[in-house]
Amino acid sequence: MPRSQTTAGTPFHRRAILALIAAGLAATTAPGARAQEEVQILNVSYDPTREFYREYNAWFADWWQAEGNGRLTLRQSHGGSGGQARAVIDGLEASVVTLALSADIDAIATRTGKIPEDWQSRLAHNSAPYTSTIVFLVRDGNPKGITDWGDLVAEDVEVITPNPKTSGGARWNFLAAWAWALDAYGGDEAQARDYMAQLFANVPVLDTGARGATNTFAQRGLGDVLLAWENEAFLALEEQGENAFDIVVPSISMLAEPPVTVVDGNITSNAQREAAFAYLRQLYSPEAQALAVRHHYRAWDTSKVPQDELDRFPQLTRISIDEFGGWAEAQPRFFGDGGIFDQIYEGR
Amino acid sequence: MSDVVHPVPVTTEPRGVRFLVILLVLSLVAVLLLAPLAAVFSEALADGLPAALQALAQPDARSAIGLTLLVAVITVPLNAAVGIAAAWAIARFDFRGKAFLVTLIDLPFSVSPVVAGLALVLLFGSNSTLGGWLITHDMRIVFALPGIILATLFVTFPFVARELIPVMIEQGRAEEEAALTLGASGWRAFRTVTLPNIRWALLYGVLLCNARAMGEFGAVAVVSGKIRGETTTMPIMVEMLYNEYLATAAFSLAAALALLALVTLALKSLLEWRHADLLAATRRH
């Protein structure tokens, strides 16, 4: 082989590699190119739903094809709810969002216009296919005999809850306690404040987030009772073993409704729109509801839930955030600067 | 035998003080470096080796490992090439704005990775003109592989150049100028004179660059979009798994990441040991 040919071969070779890299990048950056053949749905969700949506996605893909539709690829993203909403606002191409708070979806709607303002009325139950509530996680055997909110202000009880100023979960905890106190004292707000002051006098440390509070309670062994999401409490139980803790369900707590919706502005085809809405509607099907229960959420339709799984969820009165005038009203009143939490915490 | 001299004590402190200082440093090393590493491995193996390996074999974990390796394979050679070029320019030539260029190379060291990530989102996110245009033309930068690569390139940019600049300045231009006057082409002078002189510094820079490229969290977390099996690198996957109470899976992946770093360090030690005499001759720091 003449020498000139080998030297001429080098730049060609290099160009081929560059072309390969470019093609590789193009393949990953242009999901739309394949959208004509198969439908893709990206579900942008929050942290604790991972196992649920893994199973639901598998179930829905089968159901979708059984209905005579084309190939469907389901992609999944998880993170903190607020951060996930921010990513969608910054251009993460979510087809559907399944987040922790309606305020996070509202933020996407108002900042991008990719979701209509009335999104929450598009699906049943305020677009919340599964719900949760705030419960108590206590040490194994419940040594302090805690059964309801009233027991938390006993002198020898230490309560672990994060700081409502920084943690979304902690705000739910606060409002749940407030709702019980209002009910217990016949709507007397002064007495409710006294109760809250006593409660927070029993809180030795305010962590900044729910995960930190869980660690304080579970790993560092601090406190007698942790105020936590019911689904997170079950996860902690699974992780640490059934013998580490008990779950105590109070008589009154909050109704948390993690909402879902389609991000209309990111939908590129009719087939994708159809699949996205079907994906969310089927969350209300008996099969999906049973899956949600298995992953520690409370469901609306329990017809396909085995009785022993249902027994894990004792009945209680759950107060919706709407009774506090929604988050738009409750946030400044309770947790704004100089709000009820500040007054109570400073007056300890 | 004339080389043999009686060791001259370099410190005058009593033995007890020296012993205490050494003990202090060793216990600091143990607490700061060894204990966390040991904790990661013991947590990973808490349910036994099979469970740890099974966690690593999950599709999400496998794709995270693949993505991390892919990002390293793309960013490390790029930064090595750019780093050599930058170090060459700074060490061999005098030009206006040189001090500015040096400062610019150091910029990623002084900027928080989160800021770097947010800057990419500002530039290429859907709320910017450029980002909006790119997205309507189906080119995704943030929340896709290109964004992760850009973020990693940014944070690992200084490593190679920073290692090379002092070595190249110290060596001076004489040898290369000799090669050029003897008729070597620029490329040949680089290959046969410059490269052998800087190879240890280069290797060290590449290893550091590689370790950081695989381990970067902050900047990548901002631009990743956290799509499972697609845009989750190993450090991001570790955090997600930990937040989901999957301790074994999280620490197995963390241990794998630590192992990748340890392998690079071991590789470096092996090379140094193999070429100890060469190293002594060329490396002066």
- Domain for residue A18, yes or no? no
Q: Are residues A261 and A238 part of one domain? A: no
Q: Identify whether residues A295 and A324 lie together within a single domain.
A: no
Q: Are A291 and A160 in contact (CB under 8 A)?
A: no
Are residues A297 and A340 located together in one domain of the fold? no
Q: Are residues A91 and A145 in the same domain?
A: no
Measured between alpha carbons, how far is B269 from B276 in angstroms, rounded to an integer? 10
Which of the residues B126, B142, B237 would you substitute to probe the A interface, choosing the one with the greatest number of A C-beta atoms within 10 Å?
B126
In angstroms, the CA A225 to CA A177 distance is 14
Q: What is the DSSP string of A162-209?
A: --TTT-HHHHHHHHHHHHHHHHHTTT-HHHHHHHHHHHHHT-----SS
Determine what percent of chain A is predicted with pLDDT higher than 90. 62
Structural domain contains residue A180 = yes
Region for residue A152 given its phi and psi (left: phi exceeds 0; alpha: psi -120 to 50; beta: otherwise)? alpha
DSSP helix/strand/coil, A299: strand
Both A341 and A200 in a single domain? yes
Mean pLDDT, residues A303-328: 90
Best mutation target among A51, A75, A77 (most B Cβ atoms within 10 Å) is A77
| Per-residue pLDDT, B1 | 47
Residue pair A134/A80 in contact by the 8 Å Cβ criterion? no
Contact B206, B160 (CB under 8 A): yes
Burial of B278 (0-12, 13-18, 19+ CB in 10 A): middle
Distances (CA, A) of A201 to A162, A175, A322, B282: 14, 17, 28, 66
Confirm whether B5 is domain-assigned. Answer: no
Judge: B143–A91 Cβ closer than 8 Å, yes or no.
yes
Cα distance between residue A4 and residue A11, in whole Å? 12
**Confidence class for position A294, pLDDT limits 50, 70, 90:** very high
Closest Cβ–Cβ partner in A21, A76, A91 for B126: A91
The residue range of the domain holding B232 is: 48-282
Neighbours of A266 (CB within 10 A): 23
Q: Closest to B247 (Cβ–Cβ): which among A30, A93, A239?
A: A239
- Is residue A302 domain-resident? yes
**Chain B residues touching residue A47 (CB < 8 angstroms):** 240, 243-244
- Match 């008990």 to its residue by tokens: A246
Query: Number of residue pairs across A and B with CB atoms under 8 Å?
Result: 83
pLDDT score recorded for residue B9: 62
Distance from CA of B9 to the nearest CA of A (A): 48
Q: Give the chain A residue nearest B232 (alpha carbons).
A: A77
Give the domain CATH number at B189. Answer: 1.10.3720.10
What pLDDT is recorded for position B135?
81
**φ/ψ of residue A262, rounded to 5:** -90, 135
SS3 (DSSP) at A160? strand
Is residue B103 included in any domain, yes or no?
yes
* Chain A residues with at least one Cβ partner in B under 8 Å: 21, 25, 28-33, 42, 47-48, 50-51, 75-79, 84, 87, 89-93, 112, 211, 235-236, 238-239
Residue B14 lies in a domain: no
Whether residue A178 is found in the same domain as residue A238: yes
Bridge pairing between strands A298-299 and A130-131: antiparallel
Asked whether the beta carbons of residue B245 and residue A84 sit closer than 8 angstroms, the reply is: no
- Pick from B226, B244, B246 the residue to mutate for testing the A interface (most A CBs within 10 Å): B226
- Return the H-helix or E-strand segment holding A76: strand A72-79
Q: Residue A33: its chain B contacts at CB < 8 A?
A: 138
- Interface touch B240/A78, C-beta < 8 Å: yes
Q: How many domains does chain A have?
A: 2
Residue B105 falls inside a structural domain? yes
3-state secondary structure of A252: strand
- pLDDT, one tens digit per residue, over A151-188 is 999 999 999 999 888 777 888 999 999 999 999 999 99
| DSSP letter (8 states) at residue A311 | T
For residue B146, list chain A residues with Cβ-Cβ distance below 8 A: 25, 28-29
Q: Determine, for residues A91 and B131 on separate chains, whether the beta-carbon distance falls below 8 Å.
A: yes
- Which residue in B146, B227, B246 is closest to A76 by CB distance? B227
For residue B19, is it within any domain? no
Q: With b meaning 16 or more CB within 10 Å and e meaning fewer, what string describes A301-318? A: bbeebeeeeeeebeebeb
Tens of each residue's pLDDT in chain B, 285 residues: 455 556 666 677 888 888 999 999 999 999 998 999 999 999 999 888 999 999 999 888 999 999 999 999 999 999 999 999 999 999 988 899 999 999 999 999 899 999 999 999 999 988 888 888 888 888 889 999 999 999 999 999 999 999 999 999 988 888 888 988 998 888 898 888 888 889 888 988 998 899 899 999 999 999 998 898 889 999 999 988 887 778 889 999 999 999 988 887 888 788 778 777 666 665 544
pLDDT at A277: 96
Q: Domains in chain B: how many in total?
A: 1
Nearest CA in chain B to A210: B243
Phi, psi of B124 (to 5 degrees): -110, 0
Whether residue A266 sits in one domain with residue A178: no
Contacts of B230 in chain A (CB under 8 A): 75
- For residues B273 and B285, what is the distance between their CA atoms, to the nearest angstrom? 16
C-beta separation of A54 from A288 below 8 A: no
The residues on B that touch A, with CB distances below 8 Å, are 74, 121, 124-127, 131, 135, 138-146, 225-231, 240, 243-247
Same domain, A216 and A277: no
How far is the C-alpha of A265 from the C-alpha of A279, rounded, in Å?
A: 17
pLDDT at A42: 96
Does residue A331 share a domain with residue A274?
Answer: no
In a domain, B39, yes or no: no
Taking contacts as CB-CB distances below 8 angstroms, the residues of chain B near A90 are: 121, 125-127, 142-143
Beta-bridged to residue A245, according to DSSP, are A139
pLDDT at res. A160: 94
Matching residue, tokens 């001429």: A8
Tell me the β-bridge partners of A299. A130
Note down the domain range covering A145.
134-255+316-346
Encoded tokens for A97: 């969002």
- Among A97, A67, A130, A78, which Cα is nearest to A276's? A97
Question: Residue B15 domain-assigned?
Answer: no
Same domain, A147 and A237: yes
Of residues B74, B135, B231, nearest to A91 (C-beta): B135
Residue A330's domain is classified under what CATH number? Answer: 3.40.190.10
Specify which residues A255 forms β-bridges with. A320
| pLDDT computed for residue A3 by the predictor | 41
- Closest C-alpha to A220, from A301, A160, A297, A261: A160
Residues A169 and A239 grouped into a single domain: yes
| Residues A170 and A101 occupy one common structural domain | no
CA dihedral sign, ordered A318, A323, A324, A329: positive
The amino acid that residue A12 corresponds to is F
The amino acid that residue A81 corresponds to is S
Helix, strand or coil, per DSSP, at residue B12 = coil
Q: What pLDDT, in 10s, does the model give residues A244-275? A: 899 999 999 999 899 999 999 999 999 999 99
CA distances from B157 to A35, A314, B70, B197 (A): 36, 56, 17, 22
Q: Which residue of B has its CA nearest to A93?
A: B143
Alpha helix segments (H runs only) across chain B: 15-29, 35-44, 49-57, 59-92, 98-110, 113-124, 129-136, 145-156, 158-171, 174-181, 186-189, 195-215, 218-224, 234-243, 247-274, 276-282
